[in-house]
């Protein structure tokens, strides 16, 4: 159901949906999700725990940061961002949904191909 928000193929494996949502997301080389925002009236956001491969995370208006196993990214609510695999490498992270009130996700435009191609 989320394929429409990704460039390339990704694989989603829910690990926990009871108290806190935790999902293992694996991206094929070159795959990344669209820009998106995790909205919340209180609390909320997302935590990424990188577990395999090499990927990228970028917040709107900032430079992309390269990700490796063991890296952790804390994404506050209301921050427009994207994440995904490096162009030449598979990448997996655990996506942890931070509990909050009035939470929702807003999917935005795809990452521009020209911008993505500049990554190594």
CA distance 62 to 114: 16
pLDDT in tens, 36-54: 999 999 999 999 999 999 9
Residue 120: the pLDDT is 79
100 within domain boundaries: yes
39 within domain boundaries: yes
114 within domain boundaries: no
| CATH number of the CATH domain containing 94 | 2.60.120.10
Question: Cα separations (Å) of 1 from 5, 10, 95?
Answer: 9, 11, 17
Provide the token pair at 120: 């190594």
- The number of domains in the chain is 1
Whether the CB-CB separation of 55 and 83 falls below 8 Å is answered with yes
102 within domain boundaries: yes
Residue 1: the pLDDT is 67
Residue 76: the pLDDT is 98
pLDDT in tens, 80-110: 999 999 999 999 999 999 999 999 999 999 9
The whole domain housing 76 covers: 3-108
CA distance 67 to 69: 7
19 within domain boundaries: yes
Residue 33: the pLDDT is 97
120 within domain boundaries: no
Q: What percent of the chain has pLDDT over 70?
A: 99
Contact residues for 17 (Cβ-Cβ < 8 A; gap 6+): none
Any idea of the CA torsion for 19, 104, 100, 45, to the nearest 10 degrees?
90
Whether the CB-CB separation of 53 and 21 falls below 8 Å is answered with no
Residue 31: the pLDDT is 97
């Amino acid at each position: 159901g989320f394929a429409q928000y990704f460039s390339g193929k990704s694989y989603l494996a829910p690990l926990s949906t009871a108290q806190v949502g935790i999902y293992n997301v694996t991206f094929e080389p070159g795959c990344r999700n669209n820009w998106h925002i995790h909205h919340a009236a209180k609390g909320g956001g997302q935590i990424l725990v990188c577990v395999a491969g090499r990927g990228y995370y970028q917040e709107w208006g900032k430079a992309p940061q390269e990700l490796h196993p063991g890296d952790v990214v804390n994404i506050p609510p209301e921050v427009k961002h994207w994440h995904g695999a490096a162009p030449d490498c598979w990448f997996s992270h655990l996506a942890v949904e931070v509990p909050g009130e009035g939470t929702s996700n807003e999917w935005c435009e795809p990452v521009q191909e020209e911008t993505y191609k500049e990554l190594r």
